[in-house]
Chain A
Amino acid sequence: DADVTQTPRNRITKTGKRIMLECSQTKGHDRMYWYRQDPGLGLRLIYYSFDVKDINKGEISDGYSVSRQAQAKFSLSLESAIPNQTALYFCATSDPASGRRNTGELFFGEGSRLTVL
């Protein structure tokens, strides 16, 4: 089983609809992230959370919101989806507090492909 699980893996929706992408992890990591991947643009940070009570905006947070329901769960919402939010969305975790040497090591889920028509 995957350590970082994203649902749904694929979703097609219409402009104006509310969409929630969910992420759960079994790695026991405190830090969780939502990134968006677009062809030719790489990955861009939407929101991140360093613990359950901590939520921070990333580079491109406009049009998105998040909820950290528990250490293991971090959801991304699009309140009113628009076509330019069509992208591949990744949830990731990290745990530098464990003393890991690689503090930039993110553990990614397999992605949620969202298409907004």
Chain B
Amino acid sequence: GENVEQHPSTLSVQEGDNSIINCAYSNSASDYFIWYKQESGKGPQFIIDIRSNVGEKKDQRIAVTLNKTAKHFSLHITETQPEDSAVYFCAASRYNQGGKLIFGQGTELSVKP
């Protein structure tokens, strides 16, 4: 079946460093890729998305890159801050299927002051 592999499972960085989280998807028909942030005790919250006709998208310190050939997409956080500490999930979908998402396993990001 469809799956999304996410790495690393844990990531520890110093404040101010850049962070990268990677996801590989199996379904070639997937054309829409999303990242969520989950803080302790809360539900996941949407942070950024990208469609397959675009290679990169940025929103302030957050960026997502997509390599369709390799079936791989990544989340980039520049100048990581303590408030970025959370669990991050990637997800893949087909754009016309809305919220039917296949999630990765999650990455716990810890930022040391």
Q: Which residue numbers of A lie inside 8 Å of B, CB to CB? A: 4, 31, 33, 40-45, 48, 50, 58-59, 90, 92, 94, 96, 102-111
Contacts and interface: CB of A to CB of B under 8 A. Distances in A.
B49 A92 contact: no
A33 to B, nearest CB: 5
Contact of A104 (B4, B9, B32, B104): B32
13 contacts: A31-B98, A33-B99, A40-B106, A42-B4, A42-B105, A59-B102, A103-B98, A104-B46, A104-B49, A104-B91, A105-B49, A107-B46, A108-B43
Given A104-B93, A105-B49, A43 B44 contact: yes
Contacts of B4: 42
B101 A45 contact: yes
Interface of B: 1, 4, 6, 9, 32, 34, 36, 41-46, 49, 89, 91, 93, 95-96, 98-106
A47 to B, nearest CB: 11
Given A41-B105, A42-B6, A43-B89, A92 B43 contact: yes
A45 B93 CA distance: 12
A54 B101 CA distance: 18
Given A31-B98, A43-B89, A109-B43, A103 B32 contact: yes
Given A90-B44, A102-B46, 6 more contacts: A40-B106, A42-B4, A42-B103, A43-B44, A43-B89, A94-B99
A72 to B, nearest CB: 16
B44 A40 contact: no
Contact of B104 (A42, A96, A106): A42
Q: Which 3 A-B pairs have the closest CB atoms?
A: A108-B43, A42-B103, A94-B99
A19 to B, nearest CB: 20
A48 B9 contact: no
B100 A110 contact: no
Contacts of A90: 43-44
A108 B45 contact: yes
Nearest to B89: A42
Nearest to A108: B43
